[in-house]
């Protein structure tokens, strides 16, 4: 079989090898670089998006933190205010309760007094009547005759009235 | 998106096809070599073997081992690149995707560093030079004829690079390019012209010479070792004496240098020189200046034309 010389130049062979190189260049460009770079770009986009999301989340967190810090700062004031309000409320409530109780007690006392007064009046009335009757009967017996009961009763009653009034003043 | 069994099977089938596309060209080349190599003992250093010749104008085209091998390497590299980019995902889970991304990014950084931003699009070209040159040289690991030890193959690449260099020199100013030949003194112009053509010549001869010399030294050494083992074992019976003891192992060590290291190094050097020459012959400032001037002139022409029209009206 024939062989080429060690150094041989052939235009067509040179041209074919040149075309081979260009062909490989085009193939690599289309089938290696294009897909790989597309994937790299996609990955970069995804990464950027993730970074953006992380930054957004951090910003939101920061915002919340500031908000809470501000809230914390005012919380003490709020707490003391609330406490004060509560104390005031409680005091007011207690006062009202006490006042109510007093009122009620006074009412009860008043009612009791009234009742006592009424009892007393009734008693006085009764006693008066009895005295009148007794004294009437006594006088009848002492005098031995029928007296004008009606006049007599009025006389005694006016007398006792005076006594009663004196008693009422003592009360 | 759930991966069904069927999709998985199709994926694996495509993978197998692509691996076959990578491997089969090499196997075919080896088969061709085994079938057509005549049995010979002596050391013979020749060029590529010619299979047949196609008559062409100017010069007949002999189809040689180097032609066929380089074409097979081309197919193999294409298969490799298809295999690597098969099943690319944003969340990479295949090692080949990592390798593909590594290659792409590495070459892009290299191109960016040594050529500048303007030549960003050169990355695939540099990759193709690297791949074609390295894989061609590495073919000698299989005992095949490395296409890079044929001057024609490397000369084709060097001429393409020369064309690119000249194109970029002309792009940054044809007058400046022509004037460059007359510097530093006009009578050195012939030297400058020779120097211009020396670039592709030196590039191609460097690459071709390195690979060829590796082959030559390997062949010489193999025969020398054969002689040595024959000499040492000469006193033994004939059947034993013909065993080339020293040819076992020692050529492999040298092959690491001459085939693997030298082949990869020459590919790297060729790519580096390409980048340096192409970007070195181009001046972005001059190009931008020229572009600006041209646009100004165009605008002026347009204005004067409009003025002419107005006058006519």
CA distance B190 to B181: 8
Q: Of all residues in chain A, what percent carry a pLDDT higher than 90?
A: 44
CA distance B50 to B32: 12
Which pLDDT score is estimated for B186?
A: 84
Determine whether the interchain pair A2/B49 forms a contact, defined as Cβ–Cβ distance below 8 Å. Answer: yes
Determine whether the interchain pair B104/A11 forms a contact, defined as Cβ–Cβ distance below 8 Å. Answer: no
Determine whether the interchain pair B156/A8 forms a contact, defined as Cβ–Cβ distance below 8 Å. Answer: no
What average pLDDT does the segment A106-114 reach? 90
Question: Residue A31 pLDDT > 50, yes or no?
Answer: yes
Question: Residue A166 pLDDT > 80, yes or no?
Answer: no
Which pLDDT score is estimated for B273?
A: 93
Which of A139, A16, A62 is CA-nearest to residue B155?
A16
For A54-82, write each residue's pLDDT tens digit: 999 999 999 999 999 988 888 888 888 99
* Pairs across A and B, CB distance < 8 A: 143
Which pLDDT score is estimated for B2?
A: 66
Is there a cis peptide before residue B187, judged by omega within 30 degrees of 0?
no
Determine whether the interchain pair B47/A4 forms a contact, defined as Cβ–Cβ distance below 8 Å. Answer: yes
pTM flag (> 0.95): no
Query: Which residue has better confidence, A90 or B245?
Result: A90
Give the pLDDT band of residue A163 (cuts 50, 70, 90).
low
Question: Residue A167 pLDDT > 70, yes or no?
Answer: no
In this complex, the residue of B82, B90, B131 whose CB is nearest that of residue A46 is: B90
Q: Of all residues in chain A, what percent carry a pLDDT higher than 70?
A: 90
CA distance A33 to A43: 15
Give the pLDDT band of residue A169 (cuts 50, 70, 90).
very low
For A111-147, write each residue's pLDDT tens digit: 998 888 888 888 888 887 887 778 777 777 777 655 6
Determine whether the interchain pair B85/A37 forms a contact, defined as Cβ–Cβ distance below 8 Å. Answer: no
| Residue B62 in contact with partner chain A when CB distance is under 8 A | yes
In this complex, the residue of A4, A20, A42 whose CB is nearest that of residue B71 is: A20
Residues of chain B with pLDDT below 50 are none
Which pLDDT score is estimated for B41?
A: 55
Which of B135, B267, B73 is CA-nearest to residue A20?
B73
Contact residues, chain A, for B103 at CB < 8 Å:
32
| Residue B81 in contact with partner chain A when CB distance is under 8 A | yes
């Amino acid at each position: 079989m024939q062989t080429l010389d060690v150094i041989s130049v052939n235009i067509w062979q040179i041209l074919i090898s040149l075309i081979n190189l260009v062909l490989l260049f085009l193939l690599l460009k289309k089938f290696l670089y294009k897909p790989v770079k597309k994937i790299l770009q996609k990955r970069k986009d995804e990464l950027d998006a993730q970074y953006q999301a992380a930054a957004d989340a951090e910003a939101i967190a920061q915002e919340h933190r500031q908000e809470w810090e501000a809230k914390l700062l005012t919380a003490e004031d709020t707490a003391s205010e609330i406490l004060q309000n509560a104390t005031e409320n409680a005091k007011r409530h207690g006062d009202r309760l006490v006042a109510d109780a007093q009122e009620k007690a006074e009412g009860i006392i008043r009612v009791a007094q009234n009742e006592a007064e009424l009892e007393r009046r009734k008693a006085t009335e009764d006693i008066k009547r009895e005295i009148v009757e007794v004294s009437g009967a006594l006088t009848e017996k002492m005098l031995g005759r029928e007296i004008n009961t009606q006049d007599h009763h009025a006389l005694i009653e006016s007398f006792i009235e005076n006594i009663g009034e004196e008693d009422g003043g003592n009360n | 998106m759930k991966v069904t069994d069927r999709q998985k099977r199709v994926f694996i089938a495509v993978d197998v096809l692509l691996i076959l596309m990578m491997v089969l060209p090499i196997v075919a080349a080896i088969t061709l070599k085994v079938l057509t190599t005549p049995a010979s003992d002596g050391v013979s250093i020749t060029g590529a073997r010619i299979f047949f010749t196609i008559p062409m104008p100017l010069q007949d085209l002999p189809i040689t081992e180097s032609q066929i091998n380089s074409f097979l390497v081309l197919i193999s590299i294409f298969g490799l690149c298809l295999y690597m980019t098969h099943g690319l995902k944003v969340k990479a889970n295949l090692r080949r995707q990592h390798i593909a991304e590594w290659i792409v990014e590495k070459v892009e950084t290299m191109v960016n560093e040594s050529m500048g931003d303007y030549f960003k699009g050169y990355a695939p070209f540099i990759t193709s030079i690297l791949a074609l040159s390295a894989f061609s040289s590495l073919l000698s690991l299989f005992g095949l004829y490395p296409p890079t030890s044929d001057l024609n193959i490397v000369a084709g690449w060097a001429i393409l690079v020369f064309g690119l260099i000249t194109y970029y020199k002309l792009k940054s100013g044809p007058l400046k390019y022509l004037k460059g030949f007359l510097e530093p003194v006009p009578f050195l112009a012939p030297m400058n012209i020779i120097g211009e053509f020396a670039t592709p010549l030196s590039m191609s001869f460097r690459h071709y010479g390195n690979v060829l010399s590796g082959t030559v030294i390997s062949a010489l050494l193999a025969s020398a070792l054969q002689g040595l083992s024959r000499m040492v074992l000469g006193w033994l019976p004939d059947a034993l004496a013909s065993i080339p003891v020293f040819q076992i192992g020692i050529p492999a060590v040298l092959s690491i240098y001459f085939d693997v290291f030298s082949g990869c190094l020459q590919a790297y050097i060729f790519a580096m020189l390409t980048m340096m020459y192409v970007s070195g012959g181009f001046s972005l400032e001059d190009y931008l200046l020229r572009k600006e001037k041209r646009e100004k002139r165009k605008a002026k022409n347009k204005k004067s034309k409009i003025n002419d029209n107005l006058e006519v009206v």
